[in-house]
Amino acid sequence: MSGSRFVYYKGLGARLERAVYNFMLDEHVYEQGYTEMITPYLVNSKSMFGTGQFPKFKEDVFQVEDRDLTLIPTAEVPLTNYYADEILDGKELPIYFTALSPSFRSEAGSAGRDTRGLIRLHQFHKVEMVKFSDKETSYDELEKMTQNAEILLQKLNLPYRVITLCTGDMGFSAAKTYDLEVWVPAQDTYREISSCSNCEDFQARRAMIRYRDEDSKVQYAHTLNGSGLAVGRTVTAILENYQNEDGSVTVPEVLVPVSYTHLDVYKRQGLHSLLLCFSNFYILTGY
């Protein structure tokens, strides 16, 4: 239907994915002070340039023929460009946005790398965090953003680690980046599940995002972005780390209120029903 590296979620699998991103959004909005947004999934070249995807990564996205429109690789693009060509009141900073969106990536240069399962798809859901800050407090905001993502993994009780990226591994727009990596037993390694970056004023200069400080002087804002979290990879981590000896999967307790199913129902349905609903995951990921 769509080719390789596209997947279906069915039944309890679809419900688990929905429970995961609802949990993430509720945590960001009600506990961490983010404003929830629903954004366009198609943006123009100016927006892609503003956040640093164009021109360097033009081959890694899906573009509409004969139209200046691109499917977003991350909600970072429309969220950050929300204030493009604007001057904000410095008293309103910092501003926090979050959004769930599909992310579309052709990843032309990734042939043969992690192409099995839910790790590297052409289309996947991700909850994004974006912040607008003044230049004095942006690194404090980066620490807070990273903690915002960490709290999700802690509440899901998933083993993870935090690493600081070296310059050669950072994204084009970033000045400093933390990667959160979750333990994936099937691969016997940690895999990236969130990346939190301070772009300082790099994106703001491109997109003309400014603020007026307390002295009425116009300054470039600092922008930050982070995954909170990549949903498919979170589902993968849950299926692997919560799998029981009989092959059944116990759903994390924190997801029970948002999955509309009691924990004992998941346990009671056990191996048979979960394998029926998650059969695509087992085939696709080679568990």
Residue numbers annotated as active site: 105, 120, 192, 195, 233
Alpha helices in 81-164 (DSSP H): 138-155
DSSP 8-state secondary structure symbol assigned to residue 27: I
In angstroms, how far is CA 16 from the centroid of its own chain? Answer: 17
- Residue with the two structure tokens 């604007």: 86
Q: What count of Cα atoms within 13 Å lies in the side-chain half-sphere of residue 263?
A: 9
Residue among 20, 10, 25, 11 nearest 254 (CA): 20
> 154 phi and psi, to 5 degrees?
-65, -40
Using CA atoms, how far apart are residues 179 and 171, in angstroms rounded to an integer?
11
What is the rounded CA–CA span in Å between residue 255 and residue 19? 6
Euclidean distance between CA atoms 100 and 118, whole angstroms? 18
Judge contact between 141 and 133, C-beta under 8 A.
yes
Q: Report the largest interatomic distance among the alpha carbons of the chain, rounded to a whole angstrom.
A: 66
Calpha distance 251→263 (Å, rounded): 7
